[in-house]
């Protein structure tokens, strides 16, 4: 142990100020936690169609003025956003977003222990604030702290022997707040704690800040905070985006945990019947060095439990620790998509905290204001108590926690196997908690003909590097694992500090259907299988390959055709669709063949060079074949989930959001080419004029559907003669599929398949034979039906033209889910192009 253990509590619990709240009548004891179905977890995606994001009605005055960044403090005179009386936090008596900057400006003026930096902006342009509490540092001291932090990751064996680091490293903690916009109180607790630590005269506080850096993400989701929505302005649940990084707020959080390298992380949430404090229950992620997490993870979790109960609130006396209290799968730690589970890959002992008293959703509108504010005050006190207890724990165990982080990185760099964790390692640890994997020696992302998509390979490499996974590019041809690779191929050596993060992205994963009756969320996500690039798994061999570290992938965009010749691009990737839609938007006449080849006229060469560079795509000389049909930029009316709306627009499609209500309000379908239906549109709920408009549209337009809502629309409008069969609503994961090009993989959540195919229906994809589930969780229903074997060999995507002329494509898979399976986006793009009236081609 590196530092002397400090057993004196750092903070006293101030119960007297909260006495009247604690004396409030006790509510009924909450029921035990059950599996949480939250927006974006599955069936909810079919019920509410996405609409256009809001816009800021008034920008902040002036600019943020940053001071020196050489040492600490790093203060910023923050611009102040206009008052917004519609901010949903106001009703709760909490700090509205526009009140945060003035509070932070004031505390900076009072203290040299507090730093505020603007580290990014939300989707709507609101500032994201990083607050750092630490004792002042001269520039040389800050450089030394940075050097020690880097040494811990880059040379952990040496870091373990560094006496200066042992004595003087400022041990970092990161506290993340308000990632779900309508779970407000963590922000208020953080502001209160920031002001206390910045101005306290207590010698213990001064010493704490001399030996630690405490980082606060004050509000991770300001747009959701203002609007009172769980998701951000794009409708994304930011606590599901960590290994996808599709949203600006998520990118900022990824960078914060990577660059601060905390030993402990709190992610403050709400609401559940009774305070919930992780560690999670099983299944636990199989890539963790779990022995290095669970000992401190459980110990501090139990300390937080005692501290929350000591506040004296009757409503906070039931504290749920999932590791101890919840059956497998109902609050698991399997997926790397959450803040706390993702932070563990960067060396942190981390927690999701759920405060106890609901104030959002229906209760926000139905409870009296006084009751809402009483609840919010208790919630903020509970949140603050978890923060204070964690700081006390880190202060007392700082040396052990730094050693812990060093050992995580050391094992990764050395390529050591995971340790066996025996039963009873901590109280309650048993066989149901034991999840491990065998790390491969390397992954290779080949260049040249073996790479099915150069743009997908570059995207994957850039994504890995952005997540602090080390990638090298070969400078010469080499042979590894029985295969030959050309120069330019990428190598991910799994002897690296963050091997667990590299592997959780690149491995297949596993079928955990037998390990738990349910899972809290998605259980399969492999970037190797879903992002469109060819990636080889290498189990052994000599990795002494002449190579250089990659900071950014090599450019892939190019035009390989002589001047004066027509060009061709095959839409195999979402970026190919971006390039095609970009050229269509510039007014060029393109043509499309049945095999998804798009022909670009020679006159568009300059524009093609530009879009090739922008999107990393390749144009070639047009191969021999038919001229193809004229392709127009389709206008799509989309009754879809928020993630699908985001991806469709990102691919450059002209999208008009619709729903049952919008169609009933008289939406004009006359200028629409394709109607896409997956969420929030019920034909049987349309009024007669709207239903007639849809019927008229079907005589000339196309339809693309996904999931249960789409299949119901198909049946109600009598389009394709198929029977849609639904698997269990919570079934999810990566599945094998077979199409005209061979075998591959797709993603499902609430899967569907199609039977009883009528005349003229074409099977575009089938589920793999037998059990198609490669990784994830998919069990039969309670009646024994609907399991993965029932889907094996069945059609997963079908297409056809109905008797009125409507071209229809139906997806039983999830090709746009949460903007994650990027290698599947082109399936939807090609479906839209075909359904809009060009030549036949659907999901390829």
* Percentage, residues of the chain above pLDDT 90: 91
Alpha helix segments (H runs only) across 556-620: 574-585, 605-615
Of 36-45, 117-126, 480-489, minimum mean pLDDT range: 36-45
pLDDT of residue 43: 55
Does the pLDDT of residue 6 top 50, yes or no?
Answer: no
Give the pLDDT confidence of 808-840 residue by residue, as tens digits.
999 999 999 999 999 999 999 999 999 998 644
Task: Give the DSSP per-residue string, 653-711.
Answer: -EEEE--HHHHHTT---TT-SEEEESSS--GGGS-HHHHHHHHHHTTT-EEEEEHHHHH
Vertex 655: Cα angle to 649 and 656 (nearest 5): 140
d(CA 815, CA 775): 16
pLDDT of residue 821: 98
Give the pLDDT confidence of 775-817 residue by residue, as tens digits.
999 999 999 999 999 999 999 999 999 999 999 999 999 999 9
What mean pLDDT is predicted for residues 619-634? 94
d(CA 594, CA 569): 13
What mean pLDDT is predicted for residues 737-753? 94
Cβ neighbour number for residue 781 with a 10 Å cutoff = 14
What mean pLDDT is predicted for residues 726-746? 95
Alpha helix segments (H runs only) across 52-117: 97-110
The pLDDT-based confidence of 694 (bands split at 50, 70, 90) is very high
**pTM score, whole prediction:** 0.95
Phi/psi at 213 (nearest 5 deg)? -115, 130
d(CA 258, CA 342): 10
Distance (Å) of CA 190 to CA 130, 158, 216, 341: 11, 35, 7, 21
- Per the prediction, the chain carries an average pLDDT of 93
Distance (Å) of CA 98 to CA 223, 302, 358, 538, 623: 11, 36, 24, 52, 58
The pLDDT-based confidence of 61 (bands split at 50, 70, 90) is confident
Which residues, in sequence order, are CB contacts of 235 under 8 Å at separation 6+? 50, 53, 229, 641, 642, 643, 645, 646
Q: Where are the beta strands (DSSP E) in 337-455?
A: 349-355, 442-445
Distance (Å) of CA 534 to CA 448, 453, 457, 768: 11, 7, 7, 19
**Nearest Cα to 11, choosing from 200, 265, 249, 235?**
200
């Amino acid at each position: 142990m590196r530092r002397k253990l400090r057993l004196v509590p750092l903070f006293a619990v101030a119960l007297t100020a909260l006495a009247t709240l604690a004396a409030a009548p006790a509510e009924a004891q909450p029921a035990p936690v059950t599996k949480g179905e939250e927006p974006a977890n599955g069936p909810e995606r079919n019920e509410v169609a996405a609409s256009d994001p809001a816009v800021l009605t008034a920008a902040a005055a002036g600019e943020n003025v940053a001071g020196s960044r050489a040492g600490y403090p790093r203060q910023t005179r923050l611009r102040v956003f206009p008052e917004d009386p519609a901010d949903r936090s106001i009703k709760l008596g909490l700090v509205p977003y526009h009140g945060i900057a003035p509070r932070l400006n004031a505390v900076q003026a009072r203290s040299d222990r507090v730093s505020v930096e603007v580290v990014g902006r939300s989707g709507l342009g609101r500032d994201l604030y990083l607050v750092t509490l630490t004792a002042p540092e001269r520039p040389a001291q800050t450089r030394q702290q940075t050097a020690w932090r880097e040494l811990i990751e880059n040379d952990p064996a040496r870091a373990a022997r560094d006496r200066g680091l042992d004595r003087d490293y400022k041990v970092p903690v990161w506290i993340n707040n308000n990632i779900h916009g309508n779970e407000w109180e963590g922000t208020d607790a953080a502001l209160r704690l920031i002001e206390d630590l910045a101005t306290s005269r207590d010698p213990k506080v001064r010493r704490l800040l001399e030996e630690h850096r405490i980082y606060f993400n004050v509000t991770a989701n300001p747009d959701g905070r203002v609007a009172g929505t769980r998701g951000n302005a794009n409708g994304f649940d930011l606590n599901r985006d960590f290994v996808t990084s599709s949203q600006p707020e998520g990118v900022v959080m990824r960078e914060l945990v990577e660059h601060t390298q905390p030993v402990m992380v709190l992610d403050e949430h709400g609401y559940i019947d009774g305070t919930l404090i992780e560690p999670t229950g099983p299944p636990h992620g199989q890539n963790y060095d779990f022995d290095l997490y669970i000992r401190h993870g459980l110990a501090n979790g139990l300390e937080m439990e005692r501290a929350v109960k000591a506040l004296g609130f009757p409503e906070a006396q039931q504290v749920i620790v999932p590791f101890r209290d919840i059956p497998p799968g109902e609050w698991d730690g399997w997926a790397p998509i959450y803040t706390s589970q993702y932070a563990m890959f960067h060396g942190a002992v981390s927690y999701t905290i759920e405060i106890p008293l609901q104030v959002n959703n229906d209760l926000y509108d139905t409870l009296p204001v006084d009751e809402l504010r009483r609840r919010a005050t208790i919630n903020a006190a509970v949140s603050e108590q978890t923060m204070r207890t964690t700081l006390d724990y880190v202060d007392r165990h700082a040396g052990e926690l730094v050693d812990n982080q060093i050992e995580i990185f050391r094992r990764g760099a050395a390529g050591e196997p995971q340790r066996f964790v025996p039963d009873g390692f901590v109280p309650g640890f048993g066989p149901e908690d034991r999840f491990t994997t065998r790390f491969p020696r390397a992954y290779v992302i080949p260049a040249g003909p073996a790479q099915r998509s150069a743009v997908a390979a570059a995207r994957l490499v850039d994504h890995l590097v952005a997540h602090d996974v080390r990638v090298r590019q070969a400078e010469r041809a080499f042979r590894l694992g029985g295969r030959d690779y050309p120069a330019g191929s990428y190598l991910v050596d799994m002897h690296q500090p963050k091997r667990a993060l590299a592997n959780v992205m690149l491995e297949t994963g596993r079928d955990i259907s037998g390990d738990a009756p349910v899972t809290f969320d998605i259980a399969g996500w492999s970037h190797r299988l879903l992002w469109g690039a060819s990636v080889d798994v290498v189990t052994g061999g000599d990795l002494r390959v002449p190579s250089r570290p990659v900071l950014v992938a090599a450019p892939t965009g190019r035009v390989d055709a002589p001047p004066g010749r027509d060009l061709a691009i095959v839409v195999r990737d979402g970026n190919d669709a971006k390039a095609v839609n970009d050229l269509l938007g510039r007014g060029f006449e393109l043509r499309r063949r049945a095999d998804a080849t798009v022909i670009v006229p020679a006159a568009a060469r300059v524009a093609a060079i530009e879009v090739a560079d922008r999107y990393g795509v390749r144009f070639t000389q047009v191969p021999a074949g038919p001229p193809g049909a004229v392709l127009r930029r389709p206008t799509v009316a989309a009754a879809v989930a928020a993630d699908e709306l985001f991806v469709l627009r990102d691919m450059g499609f002209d999208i008009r959001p619709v729903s049952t209500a919008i169609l009933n309000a008289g939406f004009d379908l006359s200028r629409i080419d394709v109607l896409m239906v997956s969420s929030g549109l019920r034909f049987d709920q349309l009024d007669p004029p709207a239903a007639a408009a849809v019927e008229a549209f079907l005589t000339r337009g196309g339809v693309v559907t996904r999931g249960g809502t789409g299949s119901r629309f198909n049946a109600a409008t009598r389009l394709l003669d198929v029977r849609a069969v639904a698997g269990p609503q919570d079934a999810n994961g990566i599945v094998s599929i077979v199409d005209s090009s061979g075998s591959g993989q797709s993603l499902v959540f609430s899967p569907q398949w199609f039977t009883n195919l009528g005349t003229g229906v074409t099977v575009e994809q089938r589920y793999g034979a037998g059990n198609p589930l490669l990784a994830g969780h998919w069990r039969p229903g309670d009646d024994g039906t609907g399991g993965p074997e029932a889907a094996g060999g069945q059609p997963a995507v079908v297409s056809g033209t109905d008797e009125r002329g409507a071209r229809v494509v139906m997806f039983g898979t999830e090709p746009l889910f949460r903007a994650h399976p990027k290698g599947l986006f082109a399936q939807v793009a090609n479906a839209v192009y075909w359904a809009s009236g060009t030549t036949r081609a659907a999901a390829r």
